[in-house]
Amino acid sequence: MGMSTEKTRITVFVADELAKEFTERARQLGISGTALLNRGLPAELRYLAELPGPSERAAAAWRLYETLIGTTGAPSKRRRFNITLDREDSERLDQLCREKRVPRDVFIGFYLDFLVNGAEGVCEAPLKRASEILMNPRHEYEEKRKSGPTADETQDNPETEEYTPIKAVPQENPYSGLHMVRHAFKFLDEEQLDLWVRLMNENRTPENR
């Protein structure tokens, strides 16, 4: 049976600057922050489920922290953040936060902080990284093409006497196929080429159209 598509909206409060930066990063990806959270939270909940809960002392400290923020606004301004989730995910979120004795707003705040800032020594900021990749998807490939081997190599380790194969980085123009097609049909004029394309489309099987 598929997952329910019934939606519900939850309201959390997170640090104003964090909410602002998260919203901006999501906008750079061309997606709303709510849509991003609706897609990403189920996986994060599975991750949370595997983590040990805090000690009673830590849980009490979080409750005090939340109470102080809720009544004084300290230590930072907080912004109302509305998130639309599948009802099952929303109920799972509440259940896990109770089990782990972590306030829901705190959990969401930590998750947004990870998406915006990453984890030092573990990974760089996920949203920033994703945005950079989408803005210039070929950048990494081009950097590897400049510095990588042009032919297959082996790297030996004198201590273990083992060899590590290193595959060559393809050097050809990724759009070279376009030139090949153009060369193959250079004997056709525009009218003949249009006719050939029309005939090809008419003869394609329904499943390949």
Residue 92: pLDDT band with limits 50, 70, 90:
very high
Query: Residue 163: inside a domain, yes or no?
Result: no
Query: Is the pLDDT at 190 greater than 70, yes or no?
Result: no
- Whether residue 18 is found in the same domain as residue 101: yes
- Whether residue 11 is found in the same domain as residue 69: yes
Question: pLDDT value at position 153?
Answer: 72
Which of residues 135, 160, 194 is at a domain's end? 135
Query: Residue 2: inside a domain, yes or no?
Result: no
Contact yes or no for 127/25 (Cβ under 8 A): yes
Domain that holds residue 184: 176-203
CA-to-CA dists, residue 5 to 8, 87, 99, angstroms? 10, 8, 25
Q: Report the candidate in 150, 112, 118, 101 with the shortest Cα–Cα distance to residue 17.
A: 112
Query: Residue 166: inside a domain, yes or no?
Result: no
Question: pLDDT value at position 1?
Answer: 42
Which of residues 104, 135, 166 is at a domain's end? 135
> Once rounded to an integer, what is the mean pLDDT over residues 45-51?
91
Q: What is the CA radius of gyration of the chain?
A: 26
Total domain count, the chain: 2
> Once rounded to an integer, what is the mean pLDDT over residues 114-141?
84
Which of residues 135, 153, 186 is at a domain's end? 135
Query: Residue 85: inside a domain, yes or no?
Result: yes
